[in-house]
């Protein structure tokens, strides 16, 4: 009986170690760098990695910043401003080198000559290079405020 309990205890300890939570909320310096990067981001300021992947509002996929810009030009979309809502950022850092970021932004666009103001929930992935952080991927979803009002 003692032997069975010892084996059970060892198995339980080994299994629970496999399900241990990864620390993604430490790395205060890296988290601050990402927070500053996303808040200083401008539509015309490229922070994308060379192998950047973007998913557009119609589900189109671009495999570089240049492709993404070409799709926006073809669809007659101009990003006038993107303002990230303070306090609506969720930043997870993995091993100090990869950041997964989710934030809420007020986006002002010019679409085919018309001004459009929307709220977007954005998910972005960043990688830290020796030269700094670059965005590897990004995708946004327009928030339907009729169904899901944004709480301040």
Question: What is the predicted pLDDT for the residue at 126?
Answer: 97
CA atoms of 133 and 49, how far apart (whole Å): 9
**pLDDT the model gives residue 40:** 85
| pTM: predicted TM-score of the whole model, two decimal places | 0.78
Note the pLDDT of residue 19.
56
Delimit the domains of the chain by residue range: 23-142
Long-range (24+ apart) CB contacts under 8 A made by 35-38 are 35/89, 35/91, 37/126, 37/133, 38/84, 38/89, 38/101, 38/103, 38/124
The per-residue pLDDT for 33 is: 94
pLDDT of 128: 95
Whole-number pLDDT of residue 65: 82
Note the CATH number of domain 23-142.
Answer: 3.10.450.50
- In the chain, which stretches have pLDDT less than 70? 1-20, 42-45, 152
């Amino acid at each position: 009986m003692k032997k069975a309990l010892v084996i059970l205890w060892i198995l339980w300890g080994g299994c629970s170690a496999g399900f241990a939570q990864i620390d993604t909320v430490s790395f205060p310096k890296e988290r601050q760098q990402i927070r500053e990067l996303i808040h200083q981001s401008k539509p015309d300021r490229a922070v994308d990695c060379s192998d950047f992947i973007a998913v557009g509002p119609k589900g189109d996929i671009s495999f570089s910043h240049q492709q993404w810009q070409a799709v926006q030009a073809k669809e007659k979309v101009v990003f006038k401003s993107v303002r990230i809502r303070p306090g609506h950022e969720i930043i997870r850092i993995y091993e100090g080198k990869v950041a997964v970021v989710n934030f809420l932004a007020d986006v002002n666009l010019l679409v085919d000559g018309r001004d459009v103001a929307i709220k977007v929930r954005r998910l972005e992935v960043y990688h830290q290079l020796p030269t700094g952080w670059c965005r590897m991927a990004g995708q946004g979803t327009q928030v339907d405020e009729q169904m899901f009002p944004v709480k301040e």
